[in-house]
Structure 1
Amino acid sequence: MMQSKNATTPPEQRFVITGGPGSGKSSLLEALATEGLMHMPEAGRDIIQSQVAISGDALPWGNREAFAELMLSWELRSWHEAAEIGGPVLFDRGVPDVIGYRRVSGLSVPGHARRAAERFRYAETVFVAPPWEAIFAGDAERKQSFVEAFATWEIMVATYTELGYTLVELPRASIAERVAFVRDRLER
């Protein structure tokens, strides 16, 4: 599927927020959304909830390969949907996160996933939420330990860096301070 010729949100207006689980990405995006910024939700949580609801096995603790493919499909769909929004769009993870997930899970990275990360680009600046034990908490969908969350963060940083993105680390601060930080960077 190609980007629509009538797209109003170019890649340089698509901003990814990445990092390990439990680092405050989704809470930050929810706060930014209340201020009117458009965003695309995280693939993982919705896929997990849907798979559990249908007794599917495309789960991080089940068929990781199938889970990774569902995430890639979700991220590509989100990338295309953002084209029609106009203005800046924030993403709770992006296509490169699928490569990072595959690496942290010990899965090989197939050629189509690499090509997707190379072809479907985001803004050069990628926000990365660092591991933060004070706010880290598990839940029904987030079963990783803090050690696993830290390893995920390291792999996401390496993956986005390898793909030529410039990482901007979010401060370990209140949601309001993180919102101000992101808004300041978006306005530059």
Structure 2
Amino acid sequence: MQHRHVILSGCSGGGKSTLLAELARRGHATVPEPGRRIVAEELRGEGRALPWVDLAAFARRAIALADRDRAQLPDTPGPVFFDRGLVDAAVALEHATGQPAAQTLRTRARFHDRVFLAPPWPEIHHPDPERRQDLQEGIREYHRLRAACQSLGYTPIILPKADVAARADLVLAHLA
């Protein structure tokens, strides 16, 4: 299972969701970002688990949602691409509370050894109601995620600042 589950991670506003949509368009199984789903739900409700209100509560909800996403996946051949997900949520929890991501992840199945990281890309970074993080915080997050991936034993593959088709081609070539 873990070899089929592939993480797209990196800087907020770096083009991960656009890449996920391109991979889905090409017929690959995809899982949308837990964080955006949580923020949308929280904005309709009380808003207590928003990342800019209570990062630890947000990260715990993201971990639970990412676990559910993974458990509910149908058994299909080929890779399944995750927009952020479990590792990102564990790194956010570590940032918020100091609880090591390795401790959070120790009982969970690993993902594919290669993690595809979207680097900071100022030209396409645009905050919106669900992503209020400015570019500087996005850059700090990117460096945390890159370091965490390496310390967790994953190989980070930095995505080029290129059009989405070229990025998708690169991801699929690395997995071939």
Instruction: Pick one of 167, 170, 176 that aligns with 1:178.
Output: 167
Partner in structure 1 of residue 105 of structure 2? 117
State the alpha-carbon separation in 2 of the partners of residues 82 and 17 from structure 1: 17
Q: How does 1:21-36 map to 2 (within 5 A)?
A: 21-36=12-27
5 Å-filtered alignment, 1:79-98, equals: 79-82=70-73, 84-98=75-89
2-structure distance, mates of 1:116, 1:103: 9
Unaligned runs of 5+ in 2: none
- Alignment match, 1:4: none
Give the counterpart of 1:163 among 121, 143, 152: 152
Q: How many residues align?
A: 175
The letter of the residue matching 1:165 is: Y
Cα offset, 1:81, TM superposition: 2.4
- Normalising by structure 1, what TM-score? 0.87
Runs of 4+ in 1 over 4 A off after TM superposition: none
* Identity in percent: 34
Give the distance between the partners of 2:57 and 2:112, measured in 1 at CA.
Answer: 28
Q: 1:24-173 maps to which residues of 2 (within 5 A)?
A: 24-82=15-73, 84-104=75-95, 106-109=96-99, 114-118=102-106, 119-173=108-162
CA distance in 2, matches of 1:100, 1:127: 16
Letter in 2 for 1:108: G
Shift of residue 56 of structure 1? 3.1
8 Å CA contact 1:127, 1:167 repeated in 2: yes
CA positional deviation for 1:116: 4.2
Deviates further, 135-144 or 72-81: 72-81
Query: How far 1:91 sits from its partner (Å)?
Result: 0.5
RMSD: 1.6
Which AA in structure 2 matches 1:102? Answer: L
Structure 1 position 108, deviation (Å): 2.2
Amino acid at match of 1:85: T
Letter in 2 for 1:97: D
Q: In structure 1, give the amino acid aligned to 2:105.
A: A
TM-score by length of 2: 0.92
